[in-house]
Amino acid sequence: MRTHPQDDSAALAGERYEVEVGPVAHGGHCVARHDGRVLFVRHALPGERVVALVTEGTESSRFLRADAVEVIEASRDRIEAPCPFSGPGRCGGCDWQHATPGAQRRLKAEVITEQLQRLAGLTPAEAGWDGSVEPHPGDKVPAGQVPAWRTRVQYTVDDSGRAGLRRHRSHDVEPVDRCLIAAPGIQELGVESRQWPDTAAVEAITATGSNDRQVLITPRPGGRLPLVGLDRPVSVLRIDDQGGAHRTHGRPFVRERAADRTWRVSSGGFWQVHPAAPDTLVFAVLEGLAPKPGDTAIDLYCGVGLFAGALAQNVRAVLGIESSRQAVDDARHNLRDMDNVRIEQGKVEKVLPRTGITETDLIVLDPPRAGAGREVVSHLSGLDARRIAYVACDPAALARDLSFFADKGYRPASLRAFDFFPMTHHVECVAILEPVEEGR
């Protein structure tokens, strides 16, 4: 089944192909083929037969991107998408609204398995993984319902002043009345129901463990900061052209609660978006590292100090390294009562060698989505750590870095995967690495 676009014979956007959908791929789509060409198809499920509408690609492209716009033979895992703004050409935030919760986790497990094998040469058993993606108990809802988990939502504002979410791989805005995965504290602000004149973007934040709420407003070039009248008390920050945050009203930070401590997170700085993630990850890291009172530890990409603070209660000394100046200020504030913690500011690959540290007992790293990379892995592998905890939000970057660690004599002793991002393709992993014993 094929129709031809009329405008550009080289461009294939707009073509329709009837295809058999193959396995899931990393990124929220599945693989299909037509006339020997690979299609990455969103809004499909493995085993389905669909009509795929090409959204990107030309005759010379190595692969095409497409949306399933008609389902001819449906998977038993398919459900009606609960969100009215989900679907081909609409909001790009959720990848698996059309799949049952159990199917979503199986798809994520298949992606992790494929990335481990392809990039690290590891089977799940060799990675110490049972092959499951663990849901948070509060997110186990019946098919057709959506857990409201996201405590930070970034809205884009269209030319008419309506707040919405970007469409997939597009700058176009899908105006929304309500984001179903937004946490109740976000939904109560009523961002979507208001006009935002002269505004380019609005980020809404609701804290866990406190009543703090915050909005960060990015005005359009030359625009004025709009008067904000939201449905709940809220602090307001303005984001300038360089990305700097300036307090307009209320506190410049929110107070989060995790690991039996309160954490200051300023100016929209990084914090896990699922309310259960910080405590769950701290527990997984500490359980995997098994710290001892006399140990020394290093926390890389330490943010506002979550893992450093948890480790400091169990070891002799902790060094944290973080590139964000604001996050370093927050970390030093948050851990000011712990005299066995030191926080350094700068890029890990530059600061760590300058510390002069030649060995340590334990390491935890929680790098950005791109991963740590060969240079950092090489340096860490030379510190003779007893165990390394790698917290990863991207299975491809994790698998690649595990291959670098393997080259330097470290192997995964265990791996856990957590579904802190229901309805999306994202998944969080914690790998515990140990040095390979000689002779093995």
Dihedral angle, C-alpha 72, 78, 83, 84, nearest 10 ° = 20
Contact 406, 381 (CB under 8 A): no
- Angle at which helix 101-115 crosses helix 395-407, to 10 degrees, equals 30
Dihedral angle, C-alpha 104, 428, 109, 101, nearest 10 ° = -20
Cα–Cα dist 152/188, whole Å? 13
Cα–Cα dist 240/261, whole Å? 31
Centre a 10 Å sphere on the Cβ of residue 140 and count the other Cβ atoms it contains.
Answer: 12
Cα–Cα dist 275/201, whole Å? 23
Residue 208, SS3 per DSSP: coil
Convert 168-186 to b/e letters by CB count within 10 Å (16 or more is b): beeeebbbbeebbbbbebb
Residue 350, SS3 per DSSP: helix
From the candidates 179, 302, 393, 429, give the one annotated as an active-site residue: 393
Q: Which residues are annotated as a binding site?
A: 272, 301, 322, 366
3-state helix, strand, coil in the chain (%, to 5): 20, 35, 45
Q: Which residues are annotated as a binding site for S-adenosyl-L-methionine?
A: 272, 301, 322, 366
DSSP letter, residue 117: I
**Does residue 30 have an active-site annotation?**
no
Cα–Cα dist 257/315, whole Å? 22
Question: Which has the closest alpha carbon to 366: 317, 301, 293?
Answer: 301
Centre a 10 Å sphere on the Cβ of residue 333 and count the other Cβ atoms it contains.
Answer: 15
Listed in sequence order, the residues at least 6 apart from 264 whose beta carbon sits closer than 8 Å to its beta carbon are: 253, 254, 255, 304, 330, 333, 334
Question: Which has the closest alpha carbon to 308: 259, 370, 275?
Answer: 259
**First vs last Cα of the chain: how many Å apart?**
55
Q: Which residues have a catalytic role annotated?
A: 393
